[in-house]
Structures are given as structure tokens and as C-alpha cells.
Amino acid sequence: MMQKISVLLGILILCAPITALSGDQKALLFHAGVGQRSSLNEIKAVWEERHPDQKVNFSYKGSGYFIADITRSRQGDLFMPGEEFYLLQAKERGFVENYNPETDIPAYFVTVIITPKGNPANITKIEDFARPGVRVGLGNPKSCAVGIWHEKTFKKAGIWEQVQKNAVLSAKCIPELGNAAQHRAIDATIVWSTTAVLYLRDVEIIPIEHQYRGIIRLPVATLKFARFSEEAEQLKAFILSPEARRIFHKHAYSVDPRIPVDEQSFCLDGTTDRDMGHLVNAARAVKDESFPVTAETVGDLIDEVERQRKTLRAGT
Amino acid sequence: MSGEECSRGPSAKAASPGKKAASDRLLFKTFFYSFAGFLFLFSAYLFLSNFDQLLVTEAAVKTRELTTWGEDREILNLFAGGFWKDPYFWKSLNLTLMITILTTILASLVGIPTAYALSRYRIPGKTVIEVLFSSMLVIPASSVGLCLIVMFNYGPFWHLQEKLGFRFAHSIFPGMIIASFVLSFALGLSAWKATFDSVNPRFEQVARSLGSSRWRAFRTVTLPMAKSGLAAGIILAWTRAMAEFGAVLFFCGTFRELPPARFSNLERALHIDQADWLSVAIWAQVEYGNVEYGFALAYILVLIGGISVYAMHRIGAKGYIW
Amino acid sequence: MGNGFLARGRWWPAVTISIALAAISFYLLLVLSNWFYLGLADTVYFFSQPRMWQRFWLTVWTSTISMSLSLVIGIPAGYALSRFSFPCRNLFASIVDLPIVVSPAVIGAFLFGITTRFPFDLISEHYNIYIGRNVYGVLLVQFTVTCAFCARLMKASFDMIPPKFELVSRSLGASNFRTFFKVVLPMAKNGILASMIVVWARAAAEWEGLMLFVGASEGETDIMPFAIYLDWNGGMMGWVTSMTIVCILMAVTAMAAMRLIGGKSSVW
């Protein structure tokens, strides 16, 4: 008797995955940079609620890995790397179904300086990175886009040589820099505003002056070998819609499509100043309970501030 | 070896009765062999079928063109990207071997006395301690790396590092040794303890009653009896240190792109500057798009792992739980 | 103290015990540092979140399935490795053991290599799924690392049973299969149960393979150890530490349960 029951149980357990196969949901495969995870998960929740027949499977990886992955596997419906560079390269190889650089940018990253809580090395501007003894975290330009921006920014400021001497960490992906700042392994680094907003309680955020403030285009495109190209197009249109842009804005992306930039993509005027001000206020608000949290002080970052205020250690 | 003894009995028996028993035996053996064979074929398929990943294909060249950032991404050879011409590979191998050997020495210096104490002396809460150490073997390496970060970057260890003026995290010398030590020690300990448990304490008691000191009794009686088991444990600890990945990735990160000035003179003299832990390098290379290079490094690790596991089988290692 | 202490070798137990205590306190501190970091209020908060338990159950059911698959293969294979002798047995056993001794990151890379090939591309075409991008990829990784491990543990359990019982049973006229099911398996029952728990815990601890091979879908493939890595990259230290605590508790519970059943984690 016992044997029969255990055999039956065994068969049930073995069959469980096969029954799960029989659902006829359309599963989209979405290659996305690991930095976009929080906002894209929110978009996915909204999308799947509206389209119960569809399911979005994300493949979050570091930006450099996508091209290798797509070249070999030839799978995927949508593509949203952390920098336009990767998308242009994929387009050149003919993987991209349609991409219009004018319109297909749902959001922008903005560079900011982050330091550990209390700003131990007293960093206030780009030039401070060159001071001897400052422990700087740099990105690896081969594997993450922020590495290119470090080089670009410090070269423009003319302090690249000194900053390189100060480097103590070479990050493979941007969250590594944020974590290092959070755990006080480095004294300062430059990251996207969207990364900085994850560590409001444990880091200080310092906006960069206009001439060194980078604006990074975050593109989205559909892929040629999409299994559900129609649905992929729809999802892409949704990501470009104002509703999805608002979700991006809640995660500290800049979504204003008219940010004037020079040919190196450095910011020209104060269009992003408001977002930066909100970000700095958000960092203060999480650390200081008495700071007022309103749409006036922190803008769309209210949800983020509320969530990080709830716990001593960040969670969602 | 015990397996051979076991099999001699049944097969001698199977020869004596009639044909029916022989065919029954054949069916029986085939049934069980087929499962072992499946495992063998699965493993062999997994490792051999990827051999063509080593060749630089058209797709790989295209990938390379795509993700090229600097002139140093050129393909040195059409086989495996010419990894043997790359100083990065030799430095990484050097680094990994050096650190794993140091780790193994440290783990045996700490682990053999610990195993002996746990096996011989009355220590309160022994069950709890054993559960703690054996559970280290099934704790995910990501948790281990994280525990290390939290442990060393907060609390008393942080103040210690402030005083000393250097950081354990993201460093080669204390950092990598600490990261690879945790699991390698736990695994070695299980093997060493198993060995000491299997040596009868009677012998030691006899030696002591004949007037030898405790240390002498250990050195001249227990140690020679436990020799092969201890050796197997050392190989085991070393293999585990070689296979370490998550803890090193979390606690130390990558070092390749750092400027030479970041490394100390000792590190440069030992040729371990601007190099990565081997298994982290595999991951990094595959993620950069250098798939054939990453697979070449992976095959190196497979070869090293295969040789050491073969050595363990030859010695007849006990306490072998991964 | 002094002369007598050194001459009679008393220092040796003192040294071994103090080294052991140092090692134990290091590991205790390592395991407990998470609680100190997280604090009580946050621990309560994160443990009451549904996301935590959803991930916990995902980990439990995926590792249960891969454990059962491994057992189906591992018990007979372990028996074959334990009882039969054949040429190049050590070499054979080494190759079987390879997936567990090499770094799991290597397994991830190799699985990434094979899933776009012959048997797997047919399956993914037929079912219109992407193998390795969903929960089947998780199961495949877990199965790959645990099946050899399971065979290894089973071999150890069968090694502990003296073969003379089988001899007796067969000489009394029982067939080979009858002997296996009625004599060997019941005798090995405790060993198999204990190994089962270890295999389960090992499957629940697998993540390195997933990192290269399976992408992350929220609530689909992010079993707990993998979610630790993903949330670490998302800057969510609270989730990371609380999930680490759950992983440690899972491992400790599994090992304690194994000890309760009477398996010996270290002695084989």
C-alpha cells in the first residue's frame, strides 16, 4: 500500500512540469540590461494584467553578454540594452527588426556622483576625484557602459591619469559600483541616477555640473527572430507610451525627450536639474525622517522614498 | 578496494547455477549499468560536445567585431582564441594556483587539529558544531560571499581594518584567501574528521599508557594510520578551493582592468597582478563575448578537476561529499 | 605548566581545542553576521513579505523535482558503482563525478553551449519554449549538478551494506531484482533518506550555473540563491540578507534532519 502511494506521488511530481507546459500563453523573451530590472518588472506587471494571454520572460544580463548570447542562440523578441551602442551594433549585424533612433528612446540615464554615507573623502565636484588618496571605483569599459562614461568624463575634465591612479575597483557591471559605495569599499564613483536611487539610505548623491553631466540614451527595439513579433511590437509601443515613461520616471530615469546635449552627449543646460534636485532630496528624506516627502520635494520618487523609508536595509 | 571485493562474491555465485540465473544476472547488471552509463554519457556529452566552442567560428568573429572596444581584443589564434599567448591567462592560472595552495595549507593547518579535536575530545554542543560545518557544504556560495561582505565591512572587523589601514574586501591577498578558505575548510574538515573517526583511539591510549606523550602518540600512532585519508582530504580541500566561484566573485570581484599602480610590489613580483580568479575569468570572458576563450579556461578547470578527482578515487577518499 | 606541560604533550589537546574553537567562532560569526546587519525589525518585515515565501516555495518545488529525478537515476547508478567492477572503474567514476567537482560556473557555460543543439533545439521548437530561459533551465542545471552527486552518495550508502546479505538472499533462491528490492533497498533505507535530504539541499543551493545559463524572470526562475545574486545587483541589501538567512536556515535544517535520520554527513 505504502509503495503504491509513493509510486503515485513520484509520478505526480514527475508530471508536474509537463502539465505546466500545456498552457498556451505566448511567452515573449525580453533581453534587458540588469540595471533596468526594477522598472521593467513594474511594466511587466502592468502589461501581463492587461494581456492575460501573454507572458514576458526577462533575460537580465550585463550589457556585453547580449551580443554573444543573441549571436549564438538566435532567440528573443525584444532587446533593451543599457546603452545605444549595443543596439546599434546588433542592428549592424541585422538582428534588429526595426529601430528608429529618433523616437525609440523611452528614457535617459543621467550621471551622478555617489559617495558612502557621510562623504568620508569630502567629494563635491568632478575635480575632487583627482585628489591623491581618494579611493575611486571605475567601471570596466569592456563590459559596462558606465566605464566608457568614466573615461569620457575624466578626460574632458583633464584628470584621467590621476583618477586612474586612484582606482581601487574595476567593476564589471554598474550595480557593483553602487554596492561598493554602499559597503564603503570606495570613496566615490560616478553612476547613473537610476543606480544611485537604489541606495538612498546608504550613499550620498552629488549632482554633477552641466558640462560633465552625461545623458545616456536607453533604446528599445524588436528582434528579427521574434516568435511573436506582433505582440513584441505592441509591448514596445507600450514601453514608449507616456504611461510607461512615467514608470521609468518613478525609478529616477529622465524621460524628457528634449534634453539638449552636445555631440559627446554631455548635457548643455539645466533641463535635468529638477530631477537631480528631487534625487538629492530623496536621499535626504530617506536618511532624515523629519524631511517632508511631497511631490514638491521629491517629485515622482515618492514611492521609492516611501519604500526605502520602511526598512533599515533596502528592499522593494 | 571495497567495491571489487563486493563484486567478486556475487559473480562467483552467479557462475554456479543454471542458465536462468545467469540470464537473470545479466538483465540485472544491464539494468543497473544502464543508469550508471546514462550518467557517464551525460557527463561526457556535456563536456565533449562543447569542444567546438573552442574554435573561433564566423559567429565568434562577428561577436568580437561587435563588442570590440580596444586593440587588445584581437584574436590571437583561431583555436580557443590563442589563450596561451595571452599573459592574462598565465597570470590568472598563477594567481589561482598560488592562492588555492596557500588556502589549502592554511585549511590543513587549521583543519587537521580541529578535526582531531572534534573527533577525540569532549566538546559541548558537538552535534550543533557538526551540523554547522556540514551545512556549510550546502549553503549557496552567493550566501557565503554575502556573509563575508557583511561580516568584514561592518562591526568589529571593519574597525580592525580601519586601524590597519587596508581592506579585506576587493583585495587579492587576504581577500581571496578568506573567500576560498570558507568552503574548502568545511569540506576538508569533513574528510579529516571522517579519517580520524575511522582510526581506533585504542591504539593511541595504548601508546600513552606505555609512556609516550599526547603529542607523540598522535604523531607516531594516529598520524601514520590516517595518512592516506588526510592526503585525500587535502586534495579535496584543494579541489574545492579551485572550484570556488561565488564567494570570490562577491567578495573580491575582478582585477584585470585595474591600473598596475593598484597592485603591491609583491603582487607584481609574483605575476599575479591584473589577473582574475580562474572560474571568475571564465564567467567574465563569456560575458564579454569571448566565448571560445572562456571555454578554453573552462576546459583547463575541467582537466584540473578531473585529475584531482581521479587521484581521490585512486586513494579511495572518504568523507567525500561535495 | 611549563616543563611538565610541554614534556607530557599536554599542549597538544590545548592547541587543537583552541584552534577548533577559533574555527567554530569564525563560522558562527559568519553565519550570524546577517542577523546583526539586518536587525530585528527588518527581519520581521522581510519575512512577512509574500515575495519571500513565493520564492521559497519556488526553490522548494524545483529542488524537489530535480531531487526526484536525480534519485531515479542515482539509486541504480550508485548501486552499479558500488557493487560491480569493470575495467577503468576509477576513470569511469571520475568522469561521472566531473560535473560536481568543477566549478558550477563552468557547468553553466557548458549547458549554455549545448542547449541550442540537437536534442534540445527539437524540444524547444516543438513546445515553442526557450529552453534555458524558463524554469526548465533551472531544473536542468539542478539536475546536472545533483545527479552525479546523488549517485556518489548512493554509492556510499550501498558500500556500507555488507554484500553477504545479498549472497545469502540469492543462495536462498531469490532473484537478483527481488534481492535488490527486498534486501538491499530496505537496508539502505536510512542512507537513502539521508542522502535524499543532502541532494535536496544541494539542489536548493545551486545558482552559479543559472547565472550564465538562465536569465531571470521575476517569480519564474529566481530561486532563492539566484535571487540573492539578482537582488545584490539591484542594490536591495535587505532582501539579500534576509534571503541569505533563509538559505542558511534551509541548509542547517536539512543537515539537522539528516543527522536525525541517522545519516552521517562526513563519514563515508
Q: Read off the pLDDT of residues B155-191 as tens digits, 9 standing for 90 and up.
A: 888 888 888 877 888 888 888 999 999 989 998 998 8
- For residue A39, the SS3 value is helix
User: CA-to-CA distance for C85 and C68, rounded, in angstroms?
Assistant: 27
Tell me which H or E stretch contains B154.
none
User: Per-residue pLDDT averaged across B261-274, rounded?
Assistant: 83
Q: Which residues lie closer than 8 Å to B103 by C-beta, 6 or more apart? A: B177, B180, B181, B184, B237, B238, B241
Q: What are phi and psi of C15, to 5 degrees?
A: -65, -50
> Which grid cell is B68?
570590440
Number of Cβ within a 10 Å radius of residue B87: 11
Distance of CA A111 to the CA centre of its chain: 12
Q: What one-character DSSP code corresponds to residue A139?
A: E
Which of B177, B169, B185, B61 has the alpha carbon at shortest distance from B113?
B185
> Could you tell me what percent of chain A has a pLDDT over 70?
91
Which pLDDT score, from 0 to 100, does residue C19 have? 92
pLDDT digits (tens, 9 = 90+) for A266-292: 888 888 888 899 999 898 888 888 888
Number of Cβ within a 10 Å radius of residue A22: 7
User: CA-to-CA distance for C185 and C166, rounded, in angstroms?
Assistant: 11
List all chains that touch chain B, counting a touch as 3 or more CB pairs closer than 8 Å: A, C
Q: Which residues lie closer than 8 Å to A4 by C-beta, 6 or more apart? A: none
Of C65, C128, C242, the CB nearest to A227: C128
Report the relative pairing of strands A189-192 and A136-139 from DSSP bridges.
Answer: unpaired
Which pLDDT score, from 0 to 100, does residue B320 have? 53
CB distance A198 to A309 below 8 Å = no
Which of B227, B230, B148 has the alpha carbon at shortest distance from B188?
B230
Quick one: C236 exposed, middle or buried, by C-beta within 10 A (0-12, 13-18, 19+)?
A: buried
User: CA-to-CA distance for B146 and C37, rounded, in angstroms?
Assistant: 11
Q: What are phi and psi of A205, to 5 degrees?
A: -110, 130
Residue C210 pLDDT > 90, yes or no? no
**How large is the ipTM?**
0.87
- The C-alpha cell 588556502 sits at B103
- Which residues sit opposite A60 in a β-bridge? A32
- Among A183, A186, A187, most B C-beta atoms within 10 A, so best to mutate, is A183
Q: What one-character DSSP code corresponds to residue A266?
A: B
CB distance A172 to A226 below 8 Å = no
Is the CB of A82 inside 8 Å of chain C's CB atoms?
no
Cβ–Cβ gap A315/C46 under 8 Å = yes
Residue C23 pLDDT > 70, yes or no? yes
Integer-rounded Cα radius of gyration of chain C: 23
Q: In degrees, to the nearest 5, what angle opens at C-alpha C147 toward C-alphas C141 and C152? A: 140
**Longest C-alpha distance within chain A, in Å?**
81
Q: In degrees, to the nearest 5, what angle opens at C-alpha A143 toward C-alphas C109 and C227? A: 55
Residue B125 pLDDT > 90, yes or no? no
User: CA-to-CA distance for C5 and B307, rounded, in angstroms?
Assistant: 44
Q: In degrees, to the nearest 5, what angle opens at C-alpha A297 toward C-alphas A292 and A300? A: 115
- For residue A136, the SS3 value is strand
User: Per-residue pLDDT averaged across A127-156, rounded?
Assistant: 87
Interface contacts B/C by beta carbons within 8 Å: 338
Torsion of CA B254, A189, A36, A245, to 10 degrees: -170
Residue that wins the pLDDT comparison between A94 and B318: A94
Number of Cβ within a 10 Å radius of residue B234: 19
Which of A22, A199, A210, A221 has the alpha carbon at shortest distance from A102?
A221
Residue B234 pLDDT > 50, yes or no? yes
Pick the residue from chain B with its C-alpha nearest to A87: B66
Residue C116 pLDDT > 80, yes or no? no
List all chains that touch chain A, counting a touch as 3 or more CB pairs closer than 8 Å: B, C
Is the CB of C223 inside 8 Å of chain A's CB atoms?
no
pLDDT digits (tens, 9 = 90+) for C72-107: 999 999 899 888 888 888 888 888 888 888 888 888
Distance of CA B41 to the CA centre of its chain: 23
Which pLDDT score, from 0 to 100, does residue C249 have? 93
Identity of the residue numbered A78: L
Cβ–Cβ gap B59/A72 under 8 Å = yes
Residue B210 pLDDT > 70, yes or no? yes
Is the CB of C181 inside 8 Å of chain A's CB atoms?
no
Q: What are phi and psi of A159, to 5 degrees?
A: -125, 20
Which of C55, C201, C206 has the alpha carbon at shortest distance from C137?
C206
Q: What one-character DSSP code corresponds to residue B319?
A: S
| Dihedral-angle region of residue A254 (phi above 0 means left; psi in -120 to 50 means alpha; beta otherwise) | beta
Residue that wins the pLDDT comparison between A309 and C29: C29
Of A62, A71, A170, the CB nearest to B287: A62
Which pLDDT score, from 0 to 100, does residue C11 have? 85
- The C-alpha cell 522548494 sits at C60
Residues in chain A, overall count: 316
| Residues in chain B closer than 8 A to C22 (CB atoms) | 110
CA atoms within 13 A on the CB side of A85: 19
Residue B114 pLDDT > 90, yes or no? yes
Q: Which residues lie closer than 8 Å to B113 by C-beta, 6 or more apart? A: C15, C16, C19, C20
Is the CB of A74 inside 8 Å of chain B's CB atoms?
no
- The C-alpha cell 545519516 sits at C263
Inter-helix orientation angle A63-73/B58-67, to 10°:
160
Quick one: B124 exposed, middle or buried, by C-beta within 10 A (0-12, 13-18, 19+)?
A: exposed
| Residues in chain B closer than 8 A to C29 (CB atoms) | 151
User: CA-to-CA distance for A191 and A111, rounded, in angstroms?
Assistant: 6
**Average predicted confidence (pLDDT) for chain C:** 84
> Which grid cell is A62?
550585463
Quick one: A106 exposed, middle or buried, by C-beta within 10 A (0-12, 13-18, 19+)?
A: buried
| Dihedral-angle region of residue A7 (phi above 0 means left; psi in -120 to 50 means alpha; beta otherwise) | alpha
Cβ–Cβ gap C267/B142 under 8 Å = no
- Kindly report the three-state secondary structure assignment for every residue of B29-40: HHHHHHHHHHHH
Which pLDDT score, from 0 to 100, does residue A5 have? 56
Which pLDDT score, from 0 to 100, does residue A314 have? 63
Is the CB of A6 inside 8 Å of chain C's CB atoms?
no
Cβ–Cβ gap B154/C152 under 8 Å = no
User: Per-residue pLDDT averaged across B250-273, rounded?
Assistant: 83
User: CA-to-CA distance for B313 and C19, rounded, in angstroms?
Assistant: 30
Number of Cβ within a 10 Å radius of residue B156: 10
Confidence of residue B319 (pLDDT cuts 50, 70, 90): very low
pTM of structure:
0.88
Which pLDDT score, from 0 to 100, does residue B11 have? 46
Q: What one-character DSSP code corresponds to residue C180?
A: I
Which pLDDT score, from 0 to 100, does residue A259 have? 81
CB distance B117 to B129 below 8 Å = no
- For residue B294, the SS3 value is helix
- For residue A259, the SS3 value is coil
Identity of the residue numbered C81: L
User: CA-to-CA distance for C11 and C1, rounded, in angstroms?
Assistant: 9
CB distance A182 to C235 below 8 Å = yes
Cβ–Cβ gap C248/B130 under 8 Å = no
| Terminal CA-CA length for chain A | 48
User: CA-to-CA distance for C216 and C134, rounded, in angstroms?
Assistant: 8
Residue A24 pLDDT > 60, yes or no? yes
Cβ–Cβ gap B256/A140 under 8 Å = yes
